[in-house]
Amino acid sequence: MQVSRERPADKWIFAGIKLVDEGKLDEAHASFCEAIRLEPQRSDVWHHKGLALLEMGKYEPALTAIKKALELDPNDYAAQETLAAILLITGKLEEALEAINKSIRINPKYPSSLFLKGGIYQIMGRHKEALELVSGALLLKPEYPEALTLHGLILTEMGCDAEAIKDLDKSVLLNPGLETTWKILKRIESE
């Protein structure tokens, strides 16, 4: 006889993730809240709640949920990355950089953390360092359309339009719905 390893909050977490994918963020949030009620010491539930709140544009409650996740598991590099994203969105650039550095120290081979740090450096005008980080993300995950777009954007800012077009073309092949990529390509072509 096989013993079920399902924990009490699992069905609510899985339901919440599915609801997020469907764009039903209020329902997803409610599902994560129920999961927290059942298992308040699970950091992953708090992280999912924070992600849902982030998607809803509720940055302060998202920040509170992510900080709770990190209180429960300080080595959760994905939650640390989410913290960095919230801090970046709310204009706290130096704090975002500190948070993403923690994520990378915990897991230096997490492509989205390298991508996010590259984005922070790009905003700061540190193009060479940004390019190195985004290149590192692409080495780990070559078919990463958002990273290809950022790589292309950085290259255009460095005056390397021909190289940028290759990245941007690959990005739109992988994900034709990335509007930012199309805008950058149109801008390059009109120059």
Over residues 25-42, the pLDDT tens digits come to: 999 999 999 999 999 999
CA dist., res. 169 & res. 163, Å (int): 10
pLDDT value of residue 187: 87
CA neighbours within 13 Å on the CB side: how many for 136? Answer: 19
Residues 10-46 as b/e (b if ≥16 CB within 10 A, e otherwise) read bebbebbbebbeeeebebbbbbbbbbbebeeebbbbb
pLDDT value of residue 156: 94
For residue 71, with 0-12 CB atoms within 10 Å meaning exposed, 13-18 middle and 19 or more buried, which class applies?
A: exposed
Percent of the chain with pLDDT over 90: 88
Residue 100 identity (one-letter amino acid): I
Give the global pTM.
0.88
- Distance, CA of 166 to chain centre: 24
Under 8 Å between Cβ of 48 and 55: no
Angle between helices 93-106 and 111-123 (to 10 degrees): 160
CA neighbours within 13 Å on the CB side: how many for 82? Answer: 30
pLDDT value of residue 188: 86
Under 8 Å between Cβ of 185 and 165: yes
Which domains does the chain carry?
A: 7-96 (1.25.40.10), 109-191 (1.25.40.10)
- Whether residue 64 is predicted with pLDDT greater than 80 in this model: the reply is yes
Under 8 Å between Cβ of 27 and 19: yes
Average pLDDT over residues 85-102: 96
